[in-house]
């Protein structure tokens, strides 16, 4: 991606409210042609987390598509409709499983945008969502929380609160949010520019993210080191913010578009060949910027160019091929496929190949690997009970591998699985894929990957 014009982001334009017909207004309702692609064969049922939990037809992909069809045919939006759409994790396992190629991902995102505009939620639900979106997509606000959270954890108040069960009884959603907070370590600042080691093979921009940057800073530091070791000059635009992933996945279209425009502006001016992402949910959204900004005449073409340059960290490393030597790591590793990496981006082989290339490392597969862990962005906060059950299932399957380290590629998965493993009484360590590769390239001992987890327990 080379630099383009530096025009400032246009101010949002106030438009008249679209006319609502049936459940949906006229602004990008679920596409009837995509709805019609579903032949209700049922191949999606066994891969759907909520159907596996409840066995309820309307909580399966084909059931939700049927409700979309009713809405398109004139049925007004009802509490029941919204309840079933809200229950969807958006994991996209059904997209992978569907033999007819139904684009459920596009259907559910269009539907959620309609719900966000045209459905009046209960006051408590509105307040919770407003609170989440006033904090999580804002790196600076998250940074301000780090200090109080570290004190809270160092004093042992987190363990005390969880053991008491009081917060769970008073407000399960707040209890879920508290329980997901990872053990915070020291901040590792990534330089604005990291030179390549040896001959330069590419210039890459790196997304630092919101939750990733503030709650898992070591992942970003490891990403920059590995990219440099593999011959990449790494550029980190300092004014970057949220990519819009949480907003997209929750129907906040206008907000997501604003985040996307800002992200494009920041990286276009950085003069990079690729934009590298180490969080699965962020990567899948950034690879769909062209759809998100298709109606914006100032950004449509720019979004398409930007989208073509986005790479997951495992993807770019596979494309470039290894040059840095790998040192042995005597570890047994269970690899968990993050849904927005495996299903949304189709990236499964690359992270496994990176791990298998490390001498001494044994890779073990997890049973029911395609079933979501229950994280799904903020789903585990909005729907704590089903998310907890899915997290417990995933944790049990991970423990059954007998591996000493759980590896995945998304901060939400790391937090969700940590909760499940804690409830299971497991001491298995956890790491991002890139942290394992970084340890191997640097010649660190395997204990470097288990130290933080042991300290947290």
Ranges 180-184, 309-313, 395-399: which has the least confidence: 180-184
All residues at 6 or more sequence positions from 200 whose CB lies less than 8 Å from its CB, including other chains:
231, 232, 233
Supply the CATH classification number for the domain 28-118.
Answer: 1.10.1060.10
Task: Identify the bridge partners of residue 202 per DSSP, sorted by sequence position.
Answer: 232
19, pLDDT greater than 90: no
Q: Which fold has domain 325-456?
A: Rossmann fold (3.40.50)
180, pLDDT greater than 90: no
Give the model's pLDDT for residue 32.
96
Same fold for the pair 28-118 and 193-318: no
All residues at 6 or more sequence positions from 153 whose CB lies less than 8 Å from its CB, including other chains:
181, 183, 184
Give the model's pLDDT for residue 5.
43
Give the model's pLDDT for residue 455.
38
Q: Which residue has the higher pLDDT, 238 or 95?
A: 95
173, pLDDT greater than 80: no
Give the model's pLDDT for residue 336.
96
All residues at 6 or more sequence positions from 261 whose CB lies less than 8 Å from its CB, including other chains:
9, 293, 296, 299
**Tens of pLDDT, residues 338-347:** 999 999 999 9
Give domain limits for the chain.
28-118, 123-180, 193-318, 325-456
Total Cβ atoms within 10 A of residue 114: 26
136, pLDDT greater than 60: yes
Supply the CATH classification number for the domain 193-318.
Answer: 3.40.50
Instruction: Please tell me the distance from the alpha carbon of residue 421 to that of residue 374, in angstroms, as a whole number.
Output: 13
Among the listed residues 224, 206, 234, the one whose alpha carbon sits nearest the alpha carbon of residue 442:
224
Ranges 113-122, 124-133, 181-190, 401-410: which has the least confidence: 181-190
Spatial contact of 396 and 181, defined as CB atoms under 8 Å apart: no
Give the model's pLDDT for residue 170.
74
């Amino acid at each position: 991606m080379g630099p383009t014009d530096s025009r400032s982001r246009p101010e949002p334009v106030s438009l008249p409210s679209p006319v609502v017909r049936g459940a949906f207004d006229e602004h990008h309702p679920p596409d009837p042609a995509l709805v019609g692609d579903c032949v209700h064969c049922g191949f999606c049922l066994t891969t759907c987390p909520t159907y596996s939990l409840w066995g309820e037809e309307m909580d399966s992909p084909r059931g939700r598509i049927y409700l979309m069809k009713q809405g398109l045919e004139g049925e007004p939006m009802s509490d029941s409709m919204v309840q079933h759409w809200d229950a969807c994790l958006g994991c996209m396992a059904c997209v992978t499983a569907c033999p007819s190629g139904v684009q459920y991902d596009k259907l559910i995102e269009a539907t959620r945008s309609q719900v966000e505009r045209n459905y009046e939620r209960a006051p408590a639900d509105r307040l919770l969502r407003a609170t989440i979106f006033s904090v999580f997509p804002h790196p600076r606000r998250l940074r301000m929380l780090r200090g109080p959270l570290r004190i809270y954890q160092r004093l042992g108040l987190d363990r005390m609160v969880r053991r008491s069960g009081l917060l769970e009884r008073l407000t399960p959603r707040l209890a879920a949010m508290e329980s997901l907070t990872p053990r915070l370590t020291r901040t590792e600042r990534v330089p604005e520019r990291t030179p390549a080691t040896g001959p330069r093979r590419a210039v890459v921009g790196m997304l630092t993210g919101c939750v990733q940057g503030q709650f898992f800073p070591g992942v970003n530091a490891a990403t920059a080191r590995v990219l440099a070791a593999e011959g990449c000059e790494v550029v980190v635009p300092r004014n970057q913010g949220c990519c819009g992933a949480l907003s997209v996945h929750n129907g906040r279209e206008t907000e997501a578009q604003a985040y996307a425009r800002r992200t494009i502006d920041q990286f276009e001016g950085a003069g990079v060949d690729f934009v590298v992402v180490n969080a699965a949910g962020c990567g899948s959204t950034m690879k769909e910027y062209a759809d998100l900004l298709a109606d914006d005449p100032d950004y449509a073409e720019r979004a398409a160019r930007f989208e073509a340059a986005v790479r997951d960290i495992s993807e770019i490393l596979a494309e470039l091929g290894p040059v840095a030597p790998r040192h042995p790591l005597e570890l047994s590793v269970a690899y968990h496929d993050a849904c927005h990496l495996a299903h949304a981006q189709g990236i499964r082989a690359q992270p496994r190949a990176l791990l298998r290339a490390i001498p001494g490392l044994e890779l073990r597969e997890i049973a029911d690997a395609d079933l979501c862990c229950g994280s799904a962005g903020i789903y585990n906060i909005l729907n704590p009970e089903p998310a907890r059950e899915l997290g417990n299932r995933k944790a049990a399957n991970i423990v059954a591998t007998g591996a000493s380290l759980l590896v995945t590629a998304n901060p939400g998965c790391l937090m969700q699985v940590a909760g499940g493993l804690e409830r299971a009484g497991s001491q298995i360590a956890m790491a991002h894929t890139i942290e394992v590769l970084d340890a191997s390239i640097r010649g660190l001992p395997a204990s470097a990957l288990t130290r933080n987890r042991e300290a947290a327990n």
